């Protein structure tokens, strides 16, 4: 006969395990950009990872908004079989002055469109790669993404993650430049790493630890005994050899 208490415990444990496994999967099933950190003035290769979350429709289009207040001077895309890409360049509402002069137009978005019969099917993902720069000297760069499905649904990944680190329902892909990426507990992944000191191998003896001291004394005693035994054995062998020679 089955123990009902054990059965209920097993079911609860299984449910907890499912929740633990499912939580990171659901949290990661968003449009992401990697790397999510870059140095100001650098040219970065950015990869947008796009999973299809729908169970009945496939992804057929991805549109990524590029920054206009701190625009990129250069954007290029990596060709992807089955997809057509277009970098849209527009005049800026407010010209921006730089060391190289006044910028009046810049790339404002990049659009990938699937060819006929091509899609990111349910349960699949695709990566879209661009090269962009120079990275502006700013805190972070929001890159809102708009994911279109074959059934006409559009999902906007355009919400800013707050400093607290609590991720919104539809977070925008973000590249952090001067700011450190937040974590869910409100700390920063870019915080300095504190080195762990390497223990001094002689510290145990100097701290007066009775166990360590006892082990040290025992080790010395065993070493001394071994030395005496070795000397005694060598002496006996020597005497035996002399007796045989006579």
Percent of the chain whose predicted confidence (pLDDT) is above 70: 63
Q: Is residue 45 part of a domain?
A: yes
Q: Residue 97: its pLDDT value, please?
A: 80
Residue 236 pLDDT level (bands cut at 50, 70, 90): low
Q: Is residue 202 part of a domain?
A: no
Query: Which of 14-18, 44-48, 70-74, 159-163 has the lowest average pLDDT?
Result: 14-18
Query: Which of 16-25, 208-217, 225-234 has the lowest average pLDDT?
Result: 16-25
User: 113: buried, middle or exposed (CB in 10 Å: 19+, 13-18, 0-12)?
Assistant: middle
Q: Residue 19: its pLDDT value, please?
A: 39
Q: Is residue 167 part of a domain?
A: yes
Give the number of C-alpha atoms closer than 13 A to the C-alpha of residue 18, restricted to the C-beta side: 6
- Domain holding 122: CATH number? 2.60.40.2230
Domain count, the chain: 1
Distances (CA, A) of 135 to 35, 48, 143: 13, 17, 13
Range of the domain at 126: 29-176
Report the pLDDT averaged over residues 147-153.
Answer: 98
Q: Is residue 146 part of a domain?
A: yes
Taking the C-alpha atoms of residue 83 and residue 117, their distance in angstroms, rounded to an integer, is 11
Q: pTM of the prediction?
A: 0.65
Query: Which of 87-91, 200-204, 221-225 has the lowest average pLDDT?
Result: 200-204
Query: Which of 34-48, 89-103, 209-223 has the lowest average pLDDT?
Result: 209-223
Q: Residue 153: its pLDDT value, please?
A: 97
User: 49: buried, middle or exposed (CB in 10 Å: 19+, 13-18, 0-12)?
Assistant: middle
* Residue 20, pLDDT above cutoff 80: no
**Residue 11: how many other CB atoms lie within 10 Å:** 10
Q: Is residue 9 part of a domain?
A: no
* Residue 171, pLDDT above cutoff 70: yes
Q: Is residue 113 part of a domain?
A: yes
* Residue 7, pLDDT above cutoff 80: no
Higher-scoring residue by pLDDT: 219, 67: 67
Strand pairing class (59-65; 101-114): antiparallel
Higher-scoring residue by pLDDT: 208, 86: 86
Q: Is residue 228 part of a domain?
A: no
Q: Residue 163: its pLDDT value, please?
A: 79
Q: Is residue 209 part of a domain?
A: no
pLDDT tens digits, 58-75:
999 999 999 999 999 999
Residue 4: helix, strand or coil by DSSP? helix
Higher-scoring residue by pLDDT: 162, 100: 162
Answer for the pair 120, 62: CB distance below 8 angstroms, yes or no: no
Query: ∠ CA(74), CA(75), CA(77), 5° rounding?
Result: 150
């Amino acid at each position: 006969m089955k123990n009902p208490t054990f059965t209920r415990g097993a079911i609860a444990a299984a449910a907890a395990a499912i929740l633990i496994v499912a939580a990171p999967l659901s949290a990661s099933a968003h449009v992401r950009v990697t790397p999510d950190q870059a140095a100001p003035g650098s040219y970065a290769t950015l990869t947008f990872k796009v999973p299809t979350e729908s169970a009945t429709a496939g992804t057929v289009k991805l549109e990524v908004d590029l920054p206009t207040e701190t625009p990129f001077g250069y954007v290029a895309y990596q060709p992807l079989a089955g997809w057509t890409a277009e970098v849209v360049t527009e005049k800026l509402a407010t010209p921006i002055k730089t060391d190289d002069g006044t910028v009046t137009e810049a790339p404002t978005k990049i659009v990938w469109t699937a060819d006929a019969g091509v899609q990111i099917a349910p349960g699949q993902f695709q990566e879209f790669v661009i090269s962009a720069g120079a990275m502006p000297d700013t805190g972070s760069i929001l890159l809102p993404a708009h994911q279109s499905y074959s059934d006409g649904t559009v999902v906007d990944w355009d919400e800013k993650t707050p400093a607290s680190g609590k991720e919104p329902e539809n977070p925008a892909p973000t590249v952090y430049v001067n700011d450190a990426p937040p974590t869910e507990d409100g700390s920063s992944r870019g915080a300095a790493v504190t080195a762990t000191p390497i223990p001094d191998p002689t510290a145990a003896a100097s701290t007066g630890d009775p166990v360590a001291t006892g082990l040290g004394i025992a080790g010395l005693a065993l070493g001394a005994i071994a030395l005496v035994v070795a000397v005694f054995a060598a002496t006996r062998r020597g005497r035996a050899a002399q007796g045989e020679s006579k």
